[in-house]
Structure 1
Amino acid sequence: MSTLQNELDYLKGLAESGARGPLRNGSTLFWAGLLYGLASIGQYAMMRGWLPASGLMSLFIWFGASLLFAVIATVLRINCPPSTGGKTNRYAYSAWAAIGIAIVAFIACVAIIAYRMHDFEPMSYLLAPAILIFYGIGWAVSALVSGKGWLRLVSFGSFLGALGLAVLAGAPEQLLAYAAALFVLAMLPGLALMREARQNG
């Protein structure tokens, strides 16, 4: 019983500490939402014929966004390593890092299955909803370790957004909805965390 109480006291203390200290991974989430939101708009433009429609163009859009994000994320990690923000930030960083790896693994699984089934299009419509679900998990963990209640709303919005994107499967507009979701559920919360971190030093 005492061990359970100690664990509860530890989690309570962690949440209270997080409420006093800002999360410092907002800039990474800001850039993820911005870059992949723009990539989604670019993919939509290609599907509408506003950009040359080809697999090479699609690869350029998404690989370009991923490469740029990788460079920015690396620079941000060097300038502000997870260890500088205490336990709360280390736990939040670890959770988001695991989610990033999970997203990459999921995309690889989708590509392998699509290759074996000789049809990528049906599988492609699963990507955006699944990624929002991963984001919802990340925001839920961030809310838990930081004690920031508004992050729970972002998490819940991510799960609802995933359902909305699933409804739009098969329509090009899914890409626009995905871009909007990334702007609202990653870029803007990331910006809010950045501002809070600056205000609190």
Structure 2
Amino acid sequence: MPEPHVPAEAADIAWMRNLAAEGAAEPLRGGATLLAAGLLFGGASLYQWAVLSQALPIAPSSLAIVWPIITVAFVAFATIHGIRTGRSSGVRTAANRASATVWTSVGLGIFTLFVSMGLMGWRMGADVSAVALGLIPSVIMVFYGLGWAVSGAMFRSTFLWRLSVASFVAAPVLAAFTGSTWQYLVYALCLFGLMALPGALLMRKVRAAEGPGSGQG
């Protein structure tokens, strides 16, 4: 007996309902990566503020080394952690797969942003490069706002939506500090509060959902 035909619209609605139900029941994973990003890059920004404000008696030339080292350290952590969790984790929901894709895209977007800003500064001189560097923290906050917004929609989470709004608000606030060493301190606080802390909270939520002994997140 042939199976009854299901209209495409009804199938789409059913898929959306299933996705929403998954998002409401399953916590967002990837908290460890968010925590690492917030701590590493927040720490680097705090270091830059301390050096430029002379709170630390260290030559500003050290900044040219710190940021590449931090970037390599984060990429290494994200790669190793991704391989480990990919091997040991069970079934992932569509919501988690979609959010993982979004946050991977956010990371790639930030990387290409840095490359583009570097090329623009190389082509147009130091003055343009300084403007571009001053704008980077704000643009990164916009990227984070987009990531949190998509995750908030996928998981039907008011908490994640609030992180999105806070990230968007942080962007013009950071721009207002352009040209001041305080921009790097404010940026560090944003990374700690909008990436590291939420990452730690998400890790705890995943562990609570999976029970004692879980190392995922």
Decide: shared fold, TM above 0.5.
Answer: yes
Structure 2 match to 1:105? 112
CA distance in structure 1 between the partners assigned to 2:155 and 2:125 by the alignment: 45
CA distance in structure 1 between the partners assigned to 2:14 and 2:182 by the alignment: 47
Note the alpha carbon deviations across 1:47-77, whole angstroms, 9 max, x for none: 12322111xx112211111111112111211
Q: CA deviation at 1:15?
A: 2.1
Identity of aligned residues (%): 32
Residue 179 of structure 1 aligns to which amino acid in structure 2? A
**Structure 2 runs not aligned, ≥5 long:** 1-6, 211-217
Structure 2 match to 1:61? 66
CA distance in structure 2 between the partners assigned to 1:197 and 1:174 by the alignment: 34
Alpha-carbon spacing, 1:174–1:5, altered in 2? closer, same or farther (3 Å): farther
The structure number with the bigger radius of gyration is: 2
Residue 101 of structure 1 aligns to which amino acid in structure 2? L
TM-score between the two structures when normalised by the length of structure 2: 0.86
Residue 153 of structure 1 aligns to which amino acid in structure 2? R
- Is residue 22–residue 94 contact of structure 2 (8 Å, CA) maintained in 1? no
Alpha-carbon spacing, 1:152–1:112, altered in 2? closer, same or farther (3 Å): same
Structure 1 match to 2:27? 22
**Structure 1 runs not aligned, ≥5 long:** none
Give the aligned length. Answer: 198
After TM superposition, the structure 1 stretch with the greater mean CA deviation from structure 2, 45-54 or 128-137, is: 45-54
1:94 to 96, 101, 111: 101
CA RMSD of aligned residues (A): 1.5
After TM superposition, the structure 1 stretch with the greater mean CA deviation from structure 2, 79-88 or 106-115, is: 79-88
Query: Given the alignment of the two structures, is residue 43 of structure 1 paired with residue 52 of structure 2, yes or no?
Result: no
TM-score between the two structures when normalised by the length of structure 1: 0.93
